């Protein structure tokens, strides 16, 4: 294998075009094989094998600096920069991060997992270069789907004015995670159809010289284009047309399904292992579809993650006006929801905890100051969600629960979740966010509350004494276990509370607990600092009641699984019992 000789981008320089092509085939095979074992961002990586080889052939990394947007398409880059071992291994564990990671290599400049940041980062690298009199090339490699993000525009707009070396490679595979959205998508299609000659060139209007590469999976075309722009004194865009999932027909034919893929059988494309079975995503989908059929003013808005609520292409099509994928544009999704609510619609935004970080100001300024009755569904706000350091769902409680007017709800099971959602859709007074449980789907046969309009009314699910456990959201089941363990160990029944509301405290309940309780323990699936438990601590800290906050330390963990996180943070029965012992010795 030629790949055997490649340990560094420099090793590419002596290869002939034929050898580079062979290398591309080898790498593609390695990627398919490895992802069939370990899963991964399939489509994006297969599409850019040639482009990555060509970049490293033409430019001199790490002097020249390549920033991969989102960076989930950086597998070939990693293979070429000293990390091929991880990809050649048959171990089902990856061994390297799925994203660029400076700790792994001097060829990676940033840990990146959110989209649309590459151009701004590149602008910064370019300005740092200019401050220090450097001469290197700065390259941002960004997919067409990421261009809909406001930050990508801000970066393009500033980069276009800087008038210095800045190379933006637009990797156009005509897809975001799902089909791309926004008017720019249609314009890019025009550019593809005219081989880059369409009038009203978006990139030129923003100050860039523009180059189009029709064959973005042909190494020779790519090398020619990159060579032309190397050492450019002005900002340029190189627009390359690639095929998502290139080289694996099953993926080329189903590009959304193969954006990310679980381990699979290479012959058939069949997923290995079991399906995930009943889950909150599909449950809410069925609920919403029924509800939307009855009420045409309900509208689901999602920033490029329609499958978050189980909406596949067919459903999206059928919903017409009632569904809008705004593309990767988390800010817009929330602000638009405020507008929909203001004009008689009932908007539901669906996104992930980590991506709502993009919408902090839109939630606060657009939605909450205006008290617009929109619903935000928050997925993966949990230790059971993504574990990559760029996708952690531990911060949303601290982020959202301290925004005035917002009602942030934490359901503890399926029935409660749907009841809260139903209430939120029907009410017209509050912006509401719902933190979707992320542990195993739990059903209850108890009656759940239908009306959540009396805010901050916590639910006591077990009346007890001495110790009260406040177990928030999907940590509620842990609360039940803890309560049992306490009773077993100490012989008294503790009080168990399902707080339901994250954004406030139930003053009446908290006061009443003082009579028969000496210790409150708060349990939350997120960082302690700025979180729910600290509101309880703050309430009680001027009284005799003792409070212990159980939750996560404020830190970025990378690839650490839920079980390990619980242990590290002392969220264990053993630790709980020890704590209680120290109070009641």
Which residues within the stretch 56-85 sit at the binding site for its own copies (CB under 8 A)?
Answer: 65
Cα separation, 432 vs 427, whole angstroms: 10
Tokens of 404: 């005035």
User: Is 297 within 8 Å of 345 (Cβ atoms)?
Assistant: yes
Nearer to its own copies, 159 or 479 (CB): 159
Nearer to its own copies, 179 or 215 (CB): 179
Cα separation, 517 vs 465, whole angstroms: 6
- Lay out the site mask for its own copies across 132-151 (x = CB under 8 A, - = otherwise): x-x-------------xxxx
Stretch that binds its own copies, among 51-59, 88-96, 296-304, 305-313 (CB under 8 A): 296-304
Q: Which residue has the tokens 């990767």?
A: 328
Q: How far is the CB of 185 from its own copies (least distance, A)?
A: 7
**φ/ψ of residue 566, rounded to 5:** -60, -45
Which residues within the stretch 226-285 sit at the binding site for its own copies (CB under 8 A)?
Answer: none
Nearer to its own copies, 498 or 537 (CB): 537
Q: Which residue has the tokens 């939750």?
A: 551
Exposed/middle/buried for residue 322 (C-beta within 10 Å: 0-12, 13-18, 19+): buried
Helix 573-583 to helix 476-490 angle (10° resolution) is 50
Which residues within the stretch 298-357 sit at the binding site for its own copies (CB under 8 A)?
Answer: 299, 321-322, 324, 326-327, 329, 331-332, 335-345, 347, 357
- Number of residues this chain uses to bind its own copies (CB under 8 A): 118
Could you say whether residue 502 binds its own copies (CB under 8 A)? no
Instruction: Tell me the chain's radius of gyration from C-alpha atoms.
Output: 26
Cα separation, 315 vs 305, whole angstroms: 14
Inter-residue long-range contacts of 359-363, CB under 8 Å, 24+ positions, other chains counted: 359/330, 359/331, 359/333, 359/334, 360/399, 361/331, 362/330, 362/331, 362/332, 362/334, 362/335, 362/338, 363/334, 363/400, 363/403, 363/406, 363/431, 363/433
Q: Which of 61, 76, 81, 111 binds its own copies (CB under 8 A)?
A: 111
Q: Which of 182, 257, 385, 431 binds its own copies (CB under 8 A)?
A: 182
Nearer to its own copies, 50 or 396 (CB): 396
User: Is 337 within 8 Å of 298 (Cβ atoms)?
Assistant: no
Q: Which of 173, 380, 549, 569 binds its own copies (CB under 8 A)?
A: 549
Q: How far is the CB of 1 from its own copies (least distance, A)?
A: 34
Q: Which of 57, 75, 87, 110 binds its own copies (CB under 8 A)?
A: 110
Q: How far is CA 95 from the centre of its chain?
A: 21
Nearer to its own copies, 181 or 246 (CB): 181
Stretch that binds its own copies, among 158-166, 273-281, 473-481, 486-494 (CB under 8 A): 158-166
Q: How far is the CB of 303 from its own copies (least distance, A)?
A: 9
Nearer to its own copies, 199 or 274 (CB): 199
Q: Which of 200, 267, 314, 445 binds its own copies (CB under 8 A)?
A: 200
Nearer to its own copies, 27 or 121 (CB): 121
């Amino acid at each position: 294998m030629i790949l055997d000789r490649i340990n560094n981008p420099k090793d590419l320089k002596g290869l002939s075009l034929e050898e580079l092509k062979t290398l591309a085939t080898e790498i593609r095979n390695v990627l398919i094989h490895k992802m069939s074992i370990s899963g991964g961002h399939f489509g994006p990586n297969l599409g850019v094998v040639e482009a990555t080889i060509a970049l490293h052939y033409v430019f001199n990394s790490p002097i020249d600096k390549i920033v991969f947007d989102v960076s989930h398409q950086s597998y070939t880059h990693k293979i070429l920069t000293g990390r091929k071992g991880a990809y050649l291994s048959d171990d089902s564990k990856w061994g390297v991060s799925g994203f660029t990671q400076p700790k792994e290599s001097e060829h990676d400049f940033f840990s990146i997992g959110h989209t649309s940041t590459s151009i701004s980062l590149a602008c910064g690298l370019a300005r740092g270069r200019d401050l220090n009199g450097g001469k290197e090339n700065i390259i941002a490699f960004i997919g067409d789907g990421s261009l809909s993000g406001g930050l990508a525009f801000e970066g393009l707009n500033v980069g276009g004015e800087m008038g210095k070396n800045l190379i933006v490679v637009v990797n156009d595979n005509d897809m975001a995670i799902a089909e791309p959205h926004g008017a720019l998508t249609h314009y890019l299609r025009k550019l593809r159809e005219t081989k880059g000659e369409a009038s009203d060139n978006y990139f030129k209007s923003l100050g860039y010289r523009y180059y189009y590469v029709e064959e973005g999976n042909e190494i020779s075309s790519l090398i020619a284009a990159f060579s032309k722009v190397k050492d450019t004194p002005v900002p340029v865009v190189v627009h390359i047309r690639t095929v998502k999932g290139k080289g694996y027909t099953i993926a080329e034919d189903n590009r959304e399904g193969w954006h990310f893929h679980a381990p699979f059988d290479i012959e058939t494309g069949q997923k290995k292992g079991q399906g995930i079975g009943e889950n909150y995503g599909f449950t809410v989908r069925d609920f919403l579809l029924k509800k939307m059929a009855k009420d045409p003013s309900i509208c689901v808005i999602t920033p490029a993650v329609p499958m978050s609520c189980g909406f596949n292409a067919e459903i999206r099509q059928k919903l017409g006006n009632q569904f809008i994928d705004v593309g990767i544009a988390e800010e817009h999704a929330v602000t638009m929801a405020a507008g929909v609510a203001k004009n008689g619609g009932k908007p539901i935004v669906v996104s992930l905890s980590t991506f709502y970080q993009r919408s902090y100001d839109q939630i606060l300024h657009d939605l909450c100051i205006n008290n617009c009755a929109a619903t935000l569904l928050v997925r993966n706000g949990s230790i059971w969600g993504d574990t990559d350091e760029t996708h952690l769902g531990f911060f949303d409680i601290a982020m959202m629960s301290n925004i005035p007017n917002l009602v942030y709800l934490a359901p503890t099971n399926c029935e409660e979740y749907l009841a809260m959602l139903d209430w939120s859709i029907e009410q017209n007074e509050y912006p509401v966010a719902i933190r979707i449980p992320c542990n195993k789907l739990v059903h209850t046969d108890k009656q759940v509350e239908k009306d959540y309009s009396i805010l901050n009314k916590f639910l006591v699910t077990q009346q007890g004494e001495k110790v009260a456990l406040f177990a928030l959201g999907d940590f509620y089941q842990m609360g039940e276990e803890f309560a049992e363990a306490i009773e077993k160990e100490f012989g008294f029944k503790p009080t168990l509370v399902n707080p339901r509301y994250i954004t406030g405290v139930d003053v009446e309940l908290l006061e009443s607990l003082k009579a028969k309780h000496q210790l409150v323990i708060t349990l939350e699936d997120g960082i302690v600092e700025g979180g729910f438990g600290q509101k309880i601590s703050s309430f009680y800290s001027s009284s005799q009641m003792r409070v212990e906050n159980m939750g996560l330390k404020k830190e970025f963990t990378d690839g650490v699984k839920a079980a390990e996180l619980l242990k590290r943070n002392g969220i264990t029965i053993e630790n709980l019992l020890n704590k209680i012992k120290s109070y009641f010795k």
